[in-house]
Amino acid sequence: MRQRTKLVLVVAVLLSIHAVVLLAGFFAPYDVEAQHRDLPFAPPMRVRFVDSNGNPHLRPFVYPWSAREGGFGEYAEDRNHPAELRFLVQGKPYTIVGLFTLRVRLFGAENGARVFLMGTDGFGRDLFSRVIYGGQISLLAGLLATAISLLLGLVLGGIAGYYGSWVDDVLMRGTELFLALPWLYLLLAIRAFLPLQVNPSQAFLLLIVVIGAIGWARPARLLRGVVLSARERDFVRAARGFGASDFYLLRRHVLPQTFGVLLTQAAILVPQYILAEVTLSFLGLGVGEPVPSWGSMLGSLQQYHVLSSYWWMFLPGLALVPYLLGYSALAAILHERVKDVFL
């Protein structure tokens, strides 16, 4: 496959899986906070086309769970009441990006039956809906933290590379210090210093700033190198010879050359930061209940009974896979292109 086709394909896949998360309200059948208290830890339902008597059906359907009397978390398929799946149904109102309020949802079960494609958690909340909504926090955290890191890296790396001498020395020793710090423990320590009693959106912002501010060192070193070599190029020297100002040179000649590196770095950093958010939330330092994120959902696996009894609670981890693969594929392709440009 040609490189360009590959790039288009990867970008298209990434865009579509981001769209699913962005339009969570449409794809998720239920509200993230809706507790179906009669069905805690219900296993995922199988979408069927053939019923238990072997008769094929045109529409997909599920058998609802019926809880066993007196038991907890023990369910049997209620074969007498198959529920057909309906598409583009009217559900509870939700908002898209906080702007439009809609009611239409991609799918739902008929006659008020409930469908849990990935099962439910301990409060009977639909795991499928929570995974999709949880992506909003995890992905947004990854993207915004990357933006912060790259911005800091660009500014500091640019200054170090362009001005050189003692400025360079000071800044680069700073990056070495930051690179030598143990990431996770530093994150834990910073989070411990910050106030505990914060509401979910503040906690989210804190998380992003903490992750982003810690990760600036590596991109800064990389960009410093690019700026350093760009500064010494003949056309830049020529422009300087004609009396161009520092600002003009940076804007017109130096920074545009960093663009490719910046993009590659972004593709590398985003999945790293998504994982950082997952790690922090897993350790209980992220956004609090009932707002889901992939990390906080996986956090329930710390309890032995969840780990040993309910396999579907691992599914949020599976949701990470396409995003991480997508971004690393993108990074690989971009890297190739940048190499071509530079060599």
Angle at 303 between CA 298 and CA 305, to 5 degrees: 115
197 binds other proteins, rule: CB under 8 A: yes
SS3 51: coil
> Judged by CB under 8 A, which of 43, 60, 122, 322 binds other proteins?
122
CA 283, distance to chain mean position in Å, is 17
Interface residue with other proteins among 69, 308, 321, 343 (CB under 8 A) is 308
Contact call for residue 247 and other proteins (CB under 8 A): no
Nearest approach in angstroms of CB 25 to other proteins is 17
Residue 290 makes contact with other proteins by CB under 8 A: yes
> Binding to other proteins by residue 168, rule CB under 8 A?
no
Identity of the residue, 175 or 296, whose beta carbon is nearer to other proteins in the bound complex: 296
Residue 44 in the binding site for other proteins (CB under 8 A): no
Q: Residue 69 interacts with other proteins (CB under 8 A)?
A: no
Q: How far apart are CA 228 and CA 164, in angstroms?
A: 8
Phi, then psi, of 236 in degrees rounded to 5:
-70, -40
| Cross-strand bridge partners of residue 62 | 83
- Least distance from other proteins to the Cβ atom of residue 322, Å: 29
Alpha helices by DSSP H, 181-253: 183-193, 200-214, 217-231, 234-241, 246-249
Contact status: 43 vs other proteins (CB under 8 A) = no
Q: In the Cβ-directed half-sphere of 33, how many Cα atoms lie within 13 Å?
A: 6
Site for other proteins (CB under 8 A): which residue of 69, 232, 234, 289?
A: 289
Question: Which of residues 174 and 200 has its CB atom nearest to other proteins in the complex?
Answer: 200
In DSSP notation, 168-196 reads HHHHHHHHHHHHHS-HHHHHHHHHHHS-S
Rg (CA), the chain: 25
The reply on whether position 60 binds other proteins by CB under 8 A is no
Rounded to whole angstroms, the Cα distance separating 222 from 202 reads 31
Distance CA 271, CA 249 (A): 33
Among 2, 55, 72, 243, binds other proteins (CB under 8 A): 72
Sheet order of strands, 48-50 included? 48-50, 56-62, 83-96, 100-109
Q: Which is nearer to other proteins, 44 or 200 (CB)?
A: 200
Which phi and psi (to 5°) does residue 158 adopt? -60, -45
Question: CB of 105: closest distance to other proteins in angstroms?
Answer: 21
CB nearer other proteins, residue 31 or residue 277:
31
- Give exposure, 269-279, as e/b (b: 16+ Cβ within 10 Å): bbbbbbbbbbb
Residue 196 engages other proteins in binding (rule: CB under 8 A): yes
Give the residue with the Cβ less far from other proteins, 71 or 112: 71
Region near other proteins per CB under 8 A, out of 126-134, 144-152, 196-204, 228-236: 196-204
Report the nearest approach of other proteins to the CB of residue 116 (Å): 16
DSSP string, 101-155: EEEEEEEEEGGG----TT-B-TT--BHHHHHHHHHHHHHHHHHHHHHHHHHHHHH
Closer residue to other proteins, CB minimum distance, 54 or 98: 98
Considering the complex, what minimum distance in angstroms separates the CB of residue 305 from other proteins? Answer: 4
Interface with other proteins (CB under 8 A), residue from 29, 108, 119, 124: 124
Which H helix or E strand runs over 94? strand 83-96
Nearer to other proteins, 72 or 247 (CB): 72
**Residues lying near other proteins in the complex (CB under 8 A):** 33, 35, 37, 40, 70, 72-73, 122-124, 196-197, 199-200, 284, 288-290, 303-306, 308-309
